Amino acid sequence: MKHTEFTCQLIQHIPDYGEAGLIQLKNGRLRFFIRSRPGLYLGALRQISIITAPWQARSKPRVVGLGSGGENRPVNLGDNAARKVLLALQAGRFISLTYPMDSSPQIRVLVSSLFFRRAMGRLQRCVGTLPVVSFSEFSRILIYFATNSVQLSQLAQKHLHRLARYIKAYGGIRLIIGRGYTDRVGSMKYNFKLGLRRAETVTRFLREQGVVVPIQVASQGEMHPVSSNQTVAGRARNRRVVLILKSRGDSDKTLVP
């Protein structure tokens, strides 16, 4: 069992292969993932099927998904297929991962249902401890910068770490809009470039945390201040990157300043 801020994960380690597991969120959504070690299996086509356990009456395998892992990325099945996997494991069935090989017998990896019901109880108790999370909490994020700087403060990194964990856990984000801003110290041309560098710094950090959602960046420079540039506190509020998360179904007409 693995517990993160937003998810509870039930993981089965498979010798000489990698791991497979179920991820559940507070809202009840499920994912089933398969993560193989680099080597023989990396990048091969994966057929994911429900099969009977050796002690059960044989029945025809039921395919629940296909996937090909590349660049050491795990294969993920969404909520509907993940629920089929969960119900199959609860019924004592196994999950079969097959790798068609040219001019060779198929390679099969099995996810066992042994002790699954006991583990499922731990998963449900874990989910009960997760906090309730609202999309509105993450739909608009402000990251602030020091004067003439593109370096992320420890506080900014903490906020971005949490944002990345949320995006990877909940999914459903189709676009991130990032706009960089500055105060009015320096020329307008310089500030435009500085705002863009700040937006790119935030983008790079999110990529390093494994966020693969498209990110659209631009600079507004010293335009659209949110506070007076005549005070230290006001200038500090203006030196920012605004991140807007767009979920599936959202309009693209969100105003960013």
pLDDT, residue 254, reads 45
What's the predicted TM-score (pTM) here?
A: 0.79
Shared domain check, 47 and 79: yes
Asked whether the beta carbons of 85 and 98 are under 8 A apart, the reply is no
Shared domain check, 93 and 156: no
State both tokens at 240. Answer: 């920012």
Comparing 188 with 104, the larger pLDDT belongs to 188
State both tokens at 159. Answer: 């906020």
- Residue 167 in any domain: the answer is yes
The last residue of one of the domains, among 79, 97, 127, is 127
Taking the C-alpha atoms of residue 122 and residue 57, their distance in angstroms, rounded to an integer, is 29
Shared domain check, 93 and 37: yes
- Residue 256 in any domain: the answer is no
pLDDT digits (tens, 9 = 90+) for 177-224: 999 999 999 999 999 999 999 999 999 999 999 999 999 999 999 999
pLDDT digits (tens, 9 = 90+) for 217-249: 999 999 999 999 999 999 999 999 999 999 876
The answer on pLDDT for 102 being more than 70 is no
The answer on pLDDT for 158 being more than 80 is yes
Q: At 70, which CATH number? A: 2.60.40.2540
Q: At 229, which CATH number? A: 3.30.1330.60
pLDDT band at 98 (very low <50, low <70, confident <90, very high): confident
Shared domain check, 239 and 153: yes
- Residue 252 in any domain: the answer is no
- Residue 192 in any domain: the answer is yes
Task: Tell me, rounded to whole angstroms, the distance of Cα 189 from its chain centroid.
Answer: 36
The last residue of one of the domains, among 110, 127, 144, is 127
- Residue 42 in any domain: the answer is yes
The total number of structural domains in the chain stands at: 2
- Residue 230 in any domain: the answer is yes
Shared domain check, 118 and 10: yes
pLDDT digits (tens, 9 = 90+) for 34-93: 888 776 665 566 789 999 999 999 999 999 987 665 555 678 888 999 999 999 999 999
Shared domain check, 169 and 121: no
Half-sphere exposure of 69 (CA within 13 A, CB side): 23
Shared domain check, 122 and 7: yes
Domain span holding position 184: 135-247
The last residue of one of the domains, among 61, 96, 127, is 127
